[in-house]
Amino acid sequence: MSHGHSHDGAPCHGHDHEGAGGSQRSQQDVAALVEQLRLAGVDISQLPNVPSAPRDMDEARTKSYQFWSTQPVPQMNEMVPADVNCAIEEAIPMDKVRAEPFSLPAGFRWSNVDLNDADQLLELYNLLTKNYVEDDDSMFRFDYSAEFLKWALQVPGHRAEWHCGVRADSNNRLLAFIGAVPQTVRVYNKTVDMVEINFLCVHKNLRSRRVAPVLIREITRRVNITGIFQAAFTAGIVIPKPVSVCRYYHRSLNPRKLIDVRFSHLSSKMTMARTIRLYKLPDEPATRNLREMTAGDVPQVYKLLTKSLEQYKLAPVYNSEEELAHALVPRKNVVYSYVAENHNGKITDMISFYSLPSTVMGSAAHKAIYAAYLYYYVAGSVSVKQLINDSLILANKEKFDVFNALDLMHNDEIFSDLKFGKGDGNLQYYLYNWKCADMKPSEIGLVLQ
């Protein structure tokens, strides 16, 4: 997420910078560089984020996947025909699912993280804030707040054993985590009870020891035990095999700060004053009747959004108003939602974004970038362009520095008019144990946090 920074990003959910005209480093370049450093006697394990995983489809096709080749996912070079839309492996009868947890390396043990316990929530926050997704240059790292983690992981129907932690026996420290939440998802014409997987994280000191595959196997087992056999997730890396490859776009709200922290750069021929003017927004939304969503709006928003999501090939299905209320009723510093209500009391439009700051590593002046991420919206009485521009205005009022959006839904149509810049890392969408034809970003209606 940035404007004009010229490095590759490695997002789980869009931790990239705006591309400044194509400095995509290939895996080969990185491999050659690593070899040179090794010959020069540099300990590469001490270097920040040397990418070991492919970032684009071409690199991925040449790689062999020790773990993912054992999993029920399509092969990297498999072209799934349009009429195929089904599970890869049959559901296993519940009493046949492995009952014992997978083995961790000696000295570590499984431990559910109880997010209702303030100390454990803080432990998870600390693990992630120090060890979660960074860009390749170690300039920015996601800083999901503790309230956000509760929101994202304690959805209706959440389960304690799906907040799956790993602790060191010696000092009890939380060193790894993987989360799953229940979510019904429609894929083309099939509606499937799945989980969304998120917050996979292994402490930096425990990396490259094949702990991630154990976490993935163990959460799969814990999900299978409940009779669920599919999952949806996103990642900045390419593994077999994305259902869609999306891209983040970034809209500067506070260009001076973004340039200061090198999230963006001042483009040639532009002065700071002109840049600030370029990104200046009105004080109030153009949609006069736009207001904050309340719990009382849930029944109408439920109908409006449910109908709107039908146009996409991959979309969440909210099984109850309670599920939708959890996703969208505003929570300060977590999720912001607005509705437009006409004079008959009918809700015609809605828009939402969530708050995901990033820590700025190594800047004296600024500790964090406050980023808003576009979430769900329905443009009923106004254009998508006006509605998203209004959300820029609202995010700006809330003092966000940047507004990020993927090129899914109808977003691509408005990026250039609303002064979004293209990011330089992709975000891949994945389905586990499901085989279907690839989707264009504009066919995706599912937003993961």
Ligand X SMILES: CC(C)(COP(=O)(O)OP(=O)(O)OC[C@H]1O[C@@H](n2cnc3c(N)ncnc32)[C@H](O)[C@@H]1OP(=O)(O)O)[C@@H](O)C(=O)NCCC(=O)NCCS
Closest CB 204 distance from ligand X, rounded Å: 8
Query: In which element (H, E) is residue 392 found?
Result: helix 384-397
Please, what is the minimum distance in Å from the beta carbon of residue 189 to ligand X?
27
Interface with ligand X includes 1 (CB under 6 A)? no
Q: In whole angstroms, how close is the CB of 205 to ligand X at the nearest point?
A: 10
User: Which residue lies nearer to ligand X by CB, 203 or 410?
Assistant: 203
In angstroms, the CA 127 to CA 197 distance is 17
Based on CB atoms, which residue is closest to ligand X, 74 or 285? 74
How many angstroms separate the CA atoms of 322 and 317, rounded? 12
Query: Interface with ligand X by CB under 6 A: which range of 147-155, 208-216, 218-226, 296-304?
Result: 208-216
Q: How far apart are CA 234 and CA 225, in angstroms?
A: 23
Contact stretch for ligand X (CB under 6 A) within 72-80, 125-133, 277-285, 384-392: 125-133
- How far is 227 from 229, CA to CA, in rounded Å? 7
Closest CB 389 distance from ligand X, rounded Å:
30
With beta carbons less than 8 A apart as the criterion, state whether 378 and 308 touch: yes
Judged by beta carbon, residue 353 or residue 432, the one nearer ligand X is 432
Nearest approach in angstroms of CB 409 to ligand X is 21
CB 53 within 8 A of CB 238: yes
Beta bridge partners of 244: 429
Cβ nearer to ligand X, comparing 68 with 188: 68
If binding is defined by CB under 6 A, does position 217 make contact with ligand X? no
Shortest separation between residue 242's beta carbon and ligand X, angstroms: 11
d(CA 146, CA 371): 16
- Which range in 102-110, 197-205, 401-409, 417-425 contacts ligand X by CB under 6 A? 197-205
Number of other residues whose CB lies within 10 A of the CB of residue 440: 13
Tell me which of 212, 270, 276, 437 binds ligand X, using CB under 6 A.
Answer: 212
How far apart (Å, rounded) are the C-alpha atoms in residues 286 and 277?
19
Which token pair is 121?
Answer: 């929530």
Q: Which of 219, 104, 207, 210 is nearest to 164 (CA)?
A: 219
Among candidate residues 408, 334, 341, the one with its CA nearest the CA of residue 376: 408
Q: Is 245 in the site for ligand X (CB under 6 A)?
A: no
Q: For residue 57, what is the DSSP state?
A: H
Tell me which residues in 389-418 interact with ligand X (CB under 6 A). none
Minimum CB distance to ligand X, residue 60 (Å):
10
Residue number closest to ligand X, CB atom? 12
Is residue 431 part of the contact set for ligand X (CB under 6 A)?
Answer: no
User: Cβ of residue 93: shortest distance to ligand X, in angstroms?
Assistant: 27
Sign of the CA dihedral with 188 first, then 293, 403, and 361 last = negative
* Cβ-based nearer residue to ligand X, 252 or 359: 359
Q: What is the CB neighbour count within 10 angstroms for residue 265?
A: 17
**One-letter identity of residue 114:** D
Please state, in angstroms and rounded to a whole number, the distance separating the CA atoms of residues 417 and 42.
47
Mark the segment that binds ligand X (CB under 6 A) among 97-105, 210-218, 381-389, 409-417: 210-218
CA dihedral 17, 22, 25, 26 (to 10 degrees): 130
Q: Quick one: how far is CA 63 from the chain centroid?
A: 24
Q: Is 208 in the site for ligand X (CB under 6 A)?
A: yes
- Footprint on residues 314-373 left by ligand X (CB under 6 A): none
Q: Which stretch binds ligand X (CB under 6 A): 17-25, 117-125, 233-241, 392-400?
A: 233-241
The encoded tokens of residue 196 equal 């969304």
The mark string for 51-90 relative to ligand X (x by CB under 6 A, - otherwise) is --x-----------xxxx----------------------
- Per-residue DSSP letters for 168-183? ETTT--EEEEEEEEEE
User: Which C-beta is closer to ligand X: that of 131 or that of 183?
Assistant: 131
Shortest Cβ 141–ligand X spacing (Å)? 9
For 59, list phi and psi in degrees, rounded to 5: -60, -40
For the four alpha carbons of 324, 327, 328 and 330, in that order, the dihedral sign comes to positive
Segment interacting with ligand X, rule: CB under 6 A, options 1-9, 129-137, 275-283, 340-348: 129-137
Number of residues that bind ligand X (CB under 6 A): 22
Among 213, 383, 410, 419, binds ligand X (CB under 6 A): 213
Site membership for ligand X, residue 45 (CB under 6 A): no
Q: Which residue is associated with the tokens 């009493």?
A: 95
Under the binding rule (CB under 6 A), the answer on residue 246 touching ligand X is: no
Which is closer to ligand X, CB of 64 or CB of 344?
Answer: 64
DSSP assignments along 327-391, one per residue: HHS-BTTTEEEEEEE-TTS-EEEEEEEEE--EEETT-SS-SEE-EEEEEEEE-SSS-HHHHHHHH
Does 448 bind ligand X (CB under 6 A)? Our answer is: no
Binding residues for ligand X, rule: CB under 6 A, are 12, 53, 65-68, 131-133, 200-202, 207-213, 235, 237, 239
